[in-house]
Amino acid sequence: MARFGRLFRDGLTAFAALALLSLLASKMNNRQEIFQSGGFFVIDGDTLSRQGERLRLLGIDAPERDQQCERSGASWACGREARDLLVKLLKDGGVECRGGDHDRYGRLLATCRAGGIDLNREMVRRGMAVSYGAYRAEEAEARAARAGLWAGNFERPADYRRDEQIGRRTASDPFSAIRDAVRRLAGMP
């Protein structure tokens, strides 16, 4: 009889744990989608602003506003050109953005449309942003067509930001470059 009591208690505990996990999973799946429309200001090739709130275009990474790239042996302002393309695409019609998650900087991660065009997809398709977890087919298409960034040499935006951050740290602390090199050699982030 004691064995039956333990089995019953263990079964009940397992059932309660599964029910709790099910409730947590359902709560996570019910996150509210945020919808915004109207006038947006373009910060750079993958960031918009509306009424003081910033939105990051989900699944893409565009050059930073001051980033330079190389094409035909000459430097060009690829970051500004990416921004200018997004400004142009926004003029195609009423802008609508949808998203549910936020990045570590508090920006809404959104997919935006204007004039029936998926802006995220179009930036990658035209070669003015790289895939960042989505739009891999569009990146392959842009690369094959040597469109935008793919017409020359460029540093991926994430690498550019990391190098800029290291440069700022090095300027304020001459030993930071040595620490960063040791970390890389040791395989540490």
Shared domain check, 178 and 136:
no
pLDDT at site 93 = 74
Q: What is the dihedral of CA 9, 14, 17, 22, to 10 degrees?
A: -140
Q: Per the domain annotation, does 11 fall within a domain?
A: no
Mean pLDDT of the chain, nearest integer: 85
Among candidate residues 81, 83, 107, 122, the one labeled active-site is 107
Residues 15-30 have a mean pLDDT of 54
Nearest alpha carbon to residue 85 among 68, 62, 110, 107: 62
Residue at 62 is within a domain: yes
- Give yes or no: residues 104 and 118 share one domain: yes
The total number of structural domains in the chain stands at 2
SS (H, E, C) 17-42: HHHHHHHHHHHHHCCCCEEEECCCEE
Is 107 an active-site residue?
yes
What CA–CA distance (Å, rounded) separates 181 from 169?
Answer: 13
Q: What pLDDT was estimated at residue 96?
A: 95
Query: Do residue 126 and residue 47 come from a single domain?
Result: yes
Kindly give the interhelix angle for 176-185 and 157-172, rounded to the nearest 10 degrees.
Answer: 130
According to the model, what pLDDT value does residue 165 have? 83
- Higher-pLDDT residue of 173 and 123 is 123
Q: What percent of the chain has pLDDT over 90?
A: 62
146 an active-site residue?
no
State which residues form the domain around 169.
Answer: 155-189
Note whether 83 and 134 are same-domain residues.
Answer: yes
Query: Are 86 and 178 in the same domain?
Result: no
Residue 169 has pLDDT above 70, yes or no: no
In the set 64, 138, 139, 155, the catalytic residue is: 64
Verify whether residue 56 is a known catalytic residue: yes
Do residue 98 and residue 38 come from a single domain?
yes
Q: Of residues 56, 83, 121, 125, which has the active-site annotation?
A: 56
Q: Which of 41-45, 148-152, 160-164, 169-173 has the lowest mean pLDDT?
A: 169-173
Q: Is residue 109 domain-shared with residue 162, that is, in the same domain?
A: no
Looking at residue 5, its pLDDT comes to 60
| 55 and 100 together in one domain | yes
Instruction: Note the pLDDT tens digit of each residue in 52-105.
Output: 899 999 999 999 999 999 999 999 999 999 999 999 999 977 899 999 999 999
CA dihedral 166, 69, 124, 168 (to 10 degrees): 10
Q: Give residue 187's pLDDT band: very low, low, confident or very high (50, 70, 90).
A: low
> What was the pLDDT predicted at 82?
98
Same domain flag for 133 and 53: yes
pTM: 0.73
